[in-house]
Amino acid sequence: MTAQAHKHKDTLWENVKALFYAVLLAVLIRTLWLQPFHIPSGSMIPSLLIGDNLFVSKTAYGYSRYSIPWGGTINYFSGRIWGAEPKLGEVVVFRPVADPNTDFIKRVVGLPGDRVQMKEGLLYINDVVCPVEPDGTMEAVNDTGTSSKVLNAPQFIETLPNGLKHLIIKQAPFGAGTYDNTPVYQVPPGHYFMVGDNRDGSNDARAQGIVGYVPFENLVGRASFIFFSTGGHIALWEIWKWPLTAYYSRIGKVIH
């Protein structure tokens, strides 16, 4: 083998090793620290918009099988390592029991042992109403598959019993939505009750057959901050569409 061939072989091997280490580093970061997450639906409007791309903190609640790629299919281990429980009002990515291979994102409104109920569109936690106050109107791209359809709905500030304030929208009048009047949900030990901020456009824990109560083990991480927002149903790689669609003002927005 000539010196030229040796050099070419060594260069190729170095490139393969560099690629391997880069992929390994990306997997470790995604598994142990920050996982990117894309918002494909409007269930968390107005807090999160379709097209938002955010980072999920994997350190917030410790690690479970769902912290690792393909954890919904492969049972690497049971329970959580270095587990820390979510707080009321945090926005969480999780895997529902009925669909363990799909990531959902909702807000925690019920901790283990809590009683949660909707009455006339108002959220009650342990028989304490979460008051709402009007906060204008929200306009955003809707769940239609095109950016031409826009949701326009009244926006409100909701205050949880721990004092946390966050935005919600109501597309239907209070009391007229599908899940505006529910039975009392008694959150089982080791489980959480998750609801979307788009109260009339979210399949969440109120739909017991779809999401239901979420086990602690099924939490993926806490939504941290938005690193880019393409603006509606635009893929992150469709760079040529960004000038007319991207929401640059949302870059760096911390999620509350």
Give the Cα separation of 45 and 150 in Å (integer).
Answer: 12
Q: SS3 letters for 141-188? A: ECCCCCCCCEEEEEEEEEECCCCCEEEEECCCCCCCCCCCCCCCEECC
Virtual torsion, Cα 95, 99, 101, 107, nearest 10 deg: -20
Instruction: Please identify which of the residues 58, 64, 106, 224 carries the catalytic annotation.
Output: 106
| Structure token pair of residue 11 | 């260069």
Q: Catalytic annotation on 241?
A: no
Give the Cα separation of 141 and 70 in Å (integer). Answer: 31
Catalytic residue check, 165: no
Active site members: 43, 106
